[in-house]
Amino acid sequence: MTARTVLKNEWRLLMADRPLKIALGLFVVLLGYALTNGVVWLRFQERTVEATTSGNVERASALRQELEAIEAGGQPSSPFADPRSPRVLGGPSGSHTAVLAPGPLTALAIGQSDLLPYYYDVNIYTNEASFQQNGEVENPLNLMVGRFDLTFAVVYLLPLLVLALSFNVLSEEREQGTLALTLSQPVSARSVVTVKLAFRALVVAGIVLGVSLLGALATGGFGSPGRILLWSVTVVAYSLFWFALAAWVNALGRSSAWNATVLVGAWLVLVVVLPAAINAAAGLLHPLPSRVEMVTAQREASNDAVNRRSELLARYLEDHPEMAEGVVADEPGLGALSWAATDAVNGRLEEVAAEHDARRAEQTALVRRYRFLSPALLAQEALLDAAGTGDARFADFQSQVRVFAEQWREFFVPAIMADEQMNAGVLADVPTFSLVDGDSADPACRATAPLAVLAGLLALIGAAAGVRLGRVRGAD
Amino acid sequence: MIHHIVRKEFADMIRDGRFRWSAILVGSLLLVSLAHGWVQARKASQEHAAAQATAREHWETQGEKNPHSAAHYGVYAFKPRLALSFVDEGVDPFTGTSVWLEAHRQNDFLLRPAQDATAAQRIGALTAAQVLQHLVPMLIILLTFGAFASERERGTLRQLLATGVGWRELALGKALGASGALALLLVPAAVAGAAALVVANPGPTASPLARGAVLAGAYLAYFVVFLALSLAVSARARSSRTALVFLLAVWVVNGLVAPRVAVDLSKRVYATPSAFEFARTVEREMADGVEDIAPPDRDESTKRLLAEYGVERVEDLPINAVGVYLQESEEFSNRIFDRNYGALWDAFRRQGILQEVLAAAAPSIAVRTLSMGLAGTDVEQHRHFAEAAETYRRDLMRQMNGDMTENSLTGDFSYAAGAELWESVPPLEYEAPPLGWVLGNRILSLAVLGAWLAGAVLLASAQVRRAEVA
């Protein structure tokens, strides 16, 4: 009896087992539904991205027209919004929207993309408080419950299908009395179970990867093959983990009912209970400082700054001697005074934000350490990273926007300090944001540790199962 | 007779190692999550109260300035954590916690705690509500899936019925036995929760104990639904294995699949605009007006004032025409905000209602809605606070513009009001809606949960009556 015979028979058995066929069919339907949801969401985000891009172009061309009209002798539309003033041209009415295009595989994993902001209007007033904004308009109820996307189906439902397919691979043969017969052939229990599970793994992983690739194909995700590879490796490793667990439990030689109870218990603990417990532990051991303090700090800094404008200007010029040249020392313009105050507030906000971020990083590090306890958390993280909808890509985007805001200020602030006027000629030199998207090497690098742990768990349980199965004799 | 059955079932369960371990696990998760929730809620509550007091202090000590400058300075409002939020944090992590109340604009609530958390935290938060909605039903299934099916497999069902006990008595006895075992972990948790409310109330709410009692009732009904469903399935299933598989499938659909599908469906049916579109629409309507809402005409306003006071020049007006115009602008923008934010809130409400209707397919949605409502952490109560804050903002702006109008003249920018005016503005005092308001909002979920309860009990009694002995 060769592996081929086992495979052939398994296929026949599968085709004859109606409940199993129904379960598989239902799984395919659910995956299809999950993918549709992801695609709808991706299209929604793409429309917004397009609108922000055309908004940038429209704003720039309106400013150009107005500046050219003024140069030709016209009047600004409002004395408070004279685009020749660097505070206006670089301010909110001239702002540039920096946008993060949806992750290459957003259709497969909505992830954090419904919660975290993916575009910011950048102008000279952009500071740490500007990053405290809401993302997409979304019913908080929907954010709380979460979406039915492929990641959800993989992390939660795939293990259940795996367990349903394999909780009795060996125990059933024993219960039906066919085990002795099978093992009287020149095969070992180990190879029978391996082939049976390999067949099931092929079916399950084939379905999930098929749907994933279809999704990637439909949404242009093939532009990043590295990410697709990472996604596929994670899906395969995660499903193999559950197959290995089923093999090990089967090798213990108990009844099918016992196997089922233990495996469902394992699913419940690893997928539902542990992630929640880890989050709670992280919250208790490393409580996040509240952002509420940031509001108060900002307020106090700006009250203080407004009262000490002149003093702050003097200090600002000490810190930035290169700016001092254009400023009339004894009669600084209103713009210079007000900028000095803004700069002081920004500085204070940066301090508060840095403190907050340091404590947040501590908490995140803790959660990241404990996530090794739950394969579900490991898989989720790797899948989101692969899709480009995890925390890392949003954090990277935010830091790029920070750099861009700095460039923006460097462009306009000298003119503010010197009380200079701008003209249409400078528009071509105004900085624009272009995202440097970390190529797939970056997410792969981040996913190395979780994938390695997942592979380690898989190898450990697989080896234990192999040893146990080696001892199974037909006569037990 | 029935008390013998109850005693036997109860004793069986608490002697069963599997039950003991899972009950210890669920019970300790329940207690830990209550304690964790209570600590968090108290901390947040204290922080918000402190921040609110500081915000008031900033307002009162802002020094002498023109009332319109004070209006621009504005105040911050912080959303209070309500007393029962430690049981169910609901949508709180996903709504902002503070809003800036300033002139001319209705701002969004900012600082959503979930934005500071990691993606892992969205997989599951350990709250008492999560334990009650998901883990306790699982425990009920594990306790009772074999109630009839296993006895049938072992052949003891025939013997039992031969003693003359009726099906109904048997079913009731088994249900009560399981309830007794469950009470061992649920009653202490309920007592701990009530004690936490009475001894050290973590935050304000109208009638927290009454809310807590209804909350306990809703969960009790939900557990009875699962108990009855599980007994019904056990009575009918061919084997205990079939019963377990079927009940697990019900559990997965109820807790995992249905709520998410309901979210997607409600989003498809009642679409909301993107944040970008929303901001653009508000901006456009603020500039040009919309439909019958026109921006105020400054010349028109001045002319009317001149006629009213019978003078020729604005300088001769006894009031400040700018203050009148500013107030007119506020009234105009308020209508634009009401229109846009109102439509958005209504879309959220419709999405919520559709999900409540879909609870007909999954009772977890009904009990979740009731739980959040009673804990004061649902979308409606967030809106209630948001509207209270917005009303406060509008009153504040009216007072500032009114003071400017009455106490200064047109074109006089030197007028400055002081602490007396700032202190005359009452602080923002939020009163959480009463229990009746919450239940009125949640009639649909009450009805759906009631229907599930009646349906499950009827189903159980019908299935038990038709059950086979062997």
Tens digit of each residue's pLDDT (9 = 90 or more) over B119-147 = 777 877 788 899 999 999 998 998 888 88
Rounded mean pLDDT of chain A?
83
- The pair of three-digit structure tokens given for residue B175, joined into one six-digit string: 């249900």
Of B58, B110, B126, the CB nearest to A279: B126
What SS3 state is found at B201?
coil
Per the CB < 8 A criterion, the answer to whether A271 and A187 are in contact is: no
CA distance, residue A183 to nearest chain B CA (Å): 27
What is the average per-residue pLDDT within A2-18? 76
- Given this model, what pLDDT does residue B333 score? 92
Of A260, A275, A291, the CB nearest to B244: A260
Q: Examine the pLDDT at A454 and tell me if it is beyond 50.
A: yes
Name the one residue in this structure whose structure tokens are 């949508």.
B91
Strands in A232-361 per DSSP E: none
Query: Which of B260, B281, B340 should one mutate to test binding to chain A, selecting the residue with the greatest count of A CBs within 10 A?
Result: B260
Flag whether residue A188 sits within 8 Å of chain B, measured between CB atoms: no
B119 contacts in chain A (CB < 8 Å): 111-112, 380-381, 384, 390-391
- The pair of three-digit structure tokens given for residue B342, joined into one six-digit string: 């109102």
Q: Which residue has the higher pLDDT, A325 or B13?
A: B13
Tens digit of each residue's pLDDT (9 = 90 or more) over A281-312 = 777 777 777 777 777 877 887 777 766 666 66
- Given this model, what pLDDT does residue B450 score? 96
Residue contact B123–A377, C-beta within 8 A:
yes
- d(Cα B232, Cα B214) in Å, to the nearest integer? 27
- Portion of chain A with pLDDT greater than 70, in percent: 91
- d(Cα B116, Cα B127) in Å, to the nearest integer? 18
List beta partners, residue B78: B98
**Closest among B333, B429, B442, B436 to B385, alpha carbons compared:** B429
Residue contact B113–A288, C-beta within 8 A:
yes
- d(Cα A199, Cα A191) in Å, to the nearest integer? 12
- d(Cα A110, Cα A114) in Å, to the nearest integer? 7
A160 contacts in chain B (CB < 8 Å): 252
B259 contacts in chain A (CB < 8 Å): 145
- Given this model, what pLDDT does residue A439 score? 55
Domain count, chain A: 1
- d(Cα B365, Cα B255) in Å, to the nearest integer? 8
Q: How confident is the model at residue A329 (pLDDT cuts 50, 70, 90)?
A: very low
Element (H, E) at B76: strand B75-78
Nearest chain B Cα to A141, which residue? B91
Q: How many CB pairs under 8 A join A and B?
A: 208
- d(Cα B291, Cα B286) in Å, to the nearest integer? 12
Range of the domain at A419: 1-476
B344 contacts in chain A (CB < 8 Å): 137
**Closest among A431, A93, A144, A190 to B89, alpha carbons compared:** A144
- d(Cα A390, Cα A400) in Å, to the nearest integer? 16
- The pair of three-digit structure tokens given for residue B52, joined into one six-digit string: 């609110």
What SS3 state is found at A389?
coil
Which A residues in the span 108-167 are in contact with B, Cβ-Cβ below 8 Å? 111-112, 115-116, 119, 132-148, 152, 155-157, 160, 164
Q: Examine the pLDDT at A316 and tell me if it is beyond 80.
A: no
Residue contact A292–B58, C-beta within 8 A:
no
- Given this model, what pLDDT does residue A129 score? 81
Q: How confident is the model at residue A330 (pLDDT cuts 50, 70, 90)?
A: very low
A280 contacts in chain B (CB < 8 Å): 32-33, 36, 125-126
A141 contacts in chain B (CB < 8 Å): 91, 94, 263, 348, 351-352, 355, 378-379
Residue contact A290–B44, C-beta within 8 A:
yes
Q: Which residue has the higher pLDDT, A436 or A443?
A: A436
**How many alpha carbons fall within 13 Å on the CB side of residue A241?**
27
- Given this model, what pLDDT does residue B202 score? 55
What is the average per-residue pLDDT within A7-31? 83
Q: Examine the pLDDT at A328 and tell me if it is beyond 50.
A: no
- Given this model, what pLDDT does residue A126 score? 87
- Given this model, what pLDDT does residue B204 score? 62
Tens digit of each residue's pLDDT (9 = 90 or more) over B400-419 = 999 988 888 887 778 888 88
> What residues contact A435, with CB distance under 8 A and at least 6 apart?
A98, A99, A100, A101, A397, A400
Of B78, B114, B245, the CB nearest to A115: B114
- Given this model, what pLDDT does residue B46 score? 86
For residue A99, report the phi and psi dihedrals to the nearest 5 degrees: -130, 145
Flag whether residue A364 sits within 8 Å of chain B, measured between CB atoms: yes
Q: What is the DSSP string of B344-378?
A: HHHHHHHHHHHHHHHTTT-HHHHHHHHHHHHHT-S
Q: Examine the pLDDT at A68 and tell me if it is beyond 80.
A: yes
Which A residues in the span 272-301 are in contact with B, Cβ-Cβ below 8 Å? 272-273, 275-280, 283-284, 287-288, 290-296, 299-300
Nearest chain B Cα to A132, which residue? B111
- Given this model, what pLDDT does residue A475 score? 53
Residue contact B76–A377, C-beta within 8 A:
no
Of B40, B115, B135, the CB nearest to A283: B40
Q: Examine the pLDDT at A323 and tell me if it is beyond 60.
A: no
Count the residues in chain B. 470
- d(Cα A455, Cα A435) in Å, to the nearest integer? 33
For residue A461, report the phi and psi dihedrals to the nearest 5 degrees: -70, -40
Q: Which residue has the higher pLDDT, B207 or A199?
A: A199
- Given this model, what pLDDT does residue B240 score? 80
Tens digit of each residue's pLDDT (9 = 90 or more) over B329-343 = 899 999 999 999 999
Q: Model-level pTM? A: 0.89
Per the CB < 8 A criterion, the answer to whether A167 and A202 are in contact is: no
Of A134, A143, A280, the CB nearest to B108: A134
Nearest chain B Cα to A357, which residue? B116
Q: How confident is the model at residue A236 (pLDDT cuts 50, 70, 90)?
A: very high
Number of H helices, E strands in chain A: 19, 2
Per the CB < 8 A criterion, the answer to whether B172 and B2 are in contact is: yes
- d(Cα B230, Cα B363) in Å, to the nearest integer? 14
For residue B250, report the phi and psi dihedrals to the nearest 5 degrees: -60, -45
CA distance, residue A220 to nearest chain B CA (Å): 23
CA distance, residue A408 to nearest chain B CA (Å): 22
Residue contact A367–B382, C-beta within 8 A:
no
Ramachandran class of B207: left when φ > 0, alpha when ψ lies in -120 to 50, beta otherwise:
left
CA distance, residue B365 to nearest chain A CA (Å): 10
Domains of chain B, residue spans: 2-466
Of B90, B276, B348, the CB nearest to A51: B276
Residue contact A112–B256, C-beta within 8 A:
no
Which residues of chain B have a pLDDT value below 50? none
What is the average per-residue pLDDT within A129-143? 87
**Closest among B400, B388, B13 to B179, alpha carbons compared:** B13
Residue contact B122–A146, C-beta within 8 A:
yes
- d(Cα A382, Cα A384) in Å, to the nearest integer? 6
Query: Which of B91, B264, B272, B356 should one mutate to test binding to chain A, selecting the residue with the greatest count of A CBs within 10 A?
Result: B264
| Most confidently predicted of A161-170, A355-364, B277-286 | B277-286
- Given this model, what pLDDT does residue B132 score? 92
Flag whether residue A447 sits within 8 Å of chain B, measured between CB atoms: no
Residue contact A141–B351, C-beta within 8 A:
yes
B261 contacts in chain A (CB < 8 Å): 33, 148
> What residues contact A230, with CB distance under 8 A and at least 6 apart?
A382, A385, A386, A440, A443, A444, A447
A303 contacts in chain B (CB < 8 Å): 58, 62
Q: How confident is the model at residue A47 (pLDDT cuts 50, 70, 90)?
A: very high
Which amino acid belongs to residue A125? Y
Distances (CA, A) of B128 to A49, A141, B228, B341: 39, 18, 23, 32
Q: What is the DSSP string of B93-156?
A: GGS-SEEEEETTEEPPPB--HHHHS-GGGGT----HHHIIIIIHHHHHHHHHTTTTHHHHHHTH
**How many alpha carbons fall within 13 Å on the CB side of residue B86?**
33
Residue contact B47–A293, C-beta within 8 A:
yes
